[in-house]
Amino acid sequence: EAGVAQSPRYKIIEKRQSVAFWCNPISGHATLYWYQQILGQGPKLLIQFQNNGVVDDSQLPKDRFSAERLKGVDSTLKIQPAKLEDSAVYLCASSPVKRPNTGELFFGEGSRLTVL
């Protein structure tokens, strides 16, 4: 079974530029998550989708971050304009059920963003 795919793996941009990350979850997984992992910290949820609807985006900085999940499969996370503090690894995860306490989250390898 293929895992969660993410691209690009690495991205370096200047502040105020824009960047987009792509995620393809495990086939059949209805729930998709984007987490931000700053160096030395645990992952923090940015947004959670159930199929193509948003379940939780309370921690998403909506003035600069946006995310969509078209057709309930692939997802894109965009940052525009980027700030220095956005330097982090952006992790995509998927789950076959809505509630993670009835199953586990499957994480991709992440997209490492460096903002100069």
What are the residues binding another protein (CB under 8 A)? 4, 40-45, 48, 55-56, 91, 93, 98-101, 104-105, 107-110
CA dist list (Å): 74 to 31, 40, 95? 11, 28, 13
Q: Name every residue whose Cβ is closer than 8 Å to that of residue 83 and which is 6 or more positions away in sequence.
A: 15, 64, 115
Which is nearer to another protein, 14 or 40 (by Cβ)? 40
* Nearest to another protein of 17, 109 (CB atom): 109
Taking the complex as a whole, the smallest distance from the CB of residue 81 to another protein amounts, in Å, to: 27
The CB-of-78 to another protein minimum distance in angstroms stands at: 20
**Strand ordering across the sheet containing 5-7:** 5-7, 19-24, 75-79, 65-68
For the CB of residue 26, give the shortest distance to another protein in the complex, in Å. 12
